[in-house]
């Protein structure tokens, strides 16, 4: 069968388990799949992290080696593989700075490839990688319009009832809004109020800020779009 394991389930290494040929075949396919993942990440990506590319290339072969080392055959093998998978995924999740959703998807794809190769399902890993990478690339070429979230920080005097004054203005310019935080500054004489919002019209920023300036006495207002960054080293 095409998706049958290339490893003998009776053992790990030696005559009853993994031969040198099957070991290097699994390593080679893991490495090749990692390169495919890295290439699919780079397509239409103007800026990317070198560390992330290196990570997704080597993660499959590292994960494969960990899974193979704990595999022993029978039910014990399944327990060992389960513990190895949990350990490796937990290590990546809790020992690294969280990236954006797309980068996390690439990292976990690389890990899944290593798990499949570690149990000998190298042809499944190769097919799975090709399909998922093709989907990643296809979605990059499909124009999907997403609503841009923005944050606005408004400095207000302590005598301004911002919860009522600002809500009326923000609701007229936004499709959704949420108060994120309120912080006192200048020994309590000023407040910094932060909102997360979605504008009805992206060209209406100046009109919104002008209306807010009337209420807050022309004190500082900071506005910025919430955008996922692809340039920082996340791992």
* Res 74: pLDDT: 52
> Does 129 lie in the same domain as 189?
no
Closest residue by Cα to residue 5 from 80, 117, 129, 82: 117
Tokens of 115: 């798990």
The pLDDT value given to residue 234? 37
36 close to 129: Cβ distance less than 8 angstroms: yes
CA 107/CA 93 separation, integer angstroms:
10
Query: pLDDT (tens digit, 0 to 9) for every residue of the chain, 235 residues total?
Result: 556 777 765 544 444 467 778 888 889 999 999 999 999 998 877 777 788 888 889 989 988 887 777 765 555 555 656 665 666 666 555 444 455 677 888 888 988 898 888 888 888 899 999 999 999 999 888 876 666 788 899 999 888 887 788 888 888 888 888 888 888 888 878 889 999 888 888 777 888 899 888 888 888 999 888 754 443 333 3
Look up the domain containing 44 and give its range: 20-141
Residue 66 vs residues 78, 178, 181: alpha-carbon distances, Å: 13, 45, 44
H/E/C letters for each residue in 3-51?
CCCCCCCCCCECCCCECHHHHHHHHHHHHHHHHHHHHHHHCCCCCCCHH
Residues 117 and 188 in one domain: no
Residue 92 lies in a domain: yes
Query: Does 116 share its domain with 178?
Result: no
- 131 alpha carbon, distance to own chain's centre: 19
**pLDDT at site 231:** 38
pLDDT value of position 149: 81
Residues 114 and 176 in one domain: no
Same domain, yes or no: 132 and 153: no
CA 97 to chain CA mean position, Å: 10
Q: Is the pTM of this model over 0.85?
A: no
Spatial neighbors of 107 by CB under 8 A, at least 6 apart, are 52, 55, 56, 59, 92, 99, 235
Predicted pLDDT of residue 173: 86
**Alpha carbons within 13 A on the beta-carbon side of 227:** 7
């Amino acid at each position: 069968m095409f998706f049958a394991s290339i490893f003998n389930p009776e053992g790990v290494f030696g005559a009853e388990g993994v031969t040198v040929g099957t070991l290097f075949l699994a390593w080679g396919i893991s490495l090749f799949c990692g390169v495919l993942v890295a290439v699919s990440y780079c397509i239409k990506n103007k800026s990317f992290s070198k560390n992330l590319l290196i990570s997704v290339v080597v993660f499959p072969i590292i994960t494969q080696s960990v899974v193979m080392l704990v595999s022993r055959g029978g039910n014990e093998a399944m327990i060992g593989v389960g513990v190895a998978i949990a350990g490796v995924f937990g290590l990546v999740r809790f020992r690294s700075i969280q990236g954006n959703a797309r980068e996390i998807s690439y990292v976990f794809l690389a890990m899944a490839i290593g798990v499949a190769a570690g149990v000998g399902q190298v042809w499944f890993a190769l097919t799975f990688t090709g399909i998922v990478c093709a989907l990643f690339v296809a979605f990059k070429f499909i124009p999907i319009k997403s609503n841009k979230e923005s944050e606005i920080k408004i400095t207000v005097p302590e005598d301004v009832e911002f919860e009522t004054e600002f809500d009326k203005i923000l609701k007229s310019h936004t499709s959704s809004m949420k108060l994120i935080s309120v912080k006192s500054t200048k020994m309590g004489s000023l407040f910094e109020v932060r909102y997360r919002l979605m504008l009805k019209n992206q060209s209406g920023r100046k009109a919104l800020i002008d209306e807010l300036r009337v209420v807050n006495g022309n004190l500082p207002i900071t506005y910025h779009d919430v955008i996922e960054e692809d340039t920082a080293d996340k791992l």
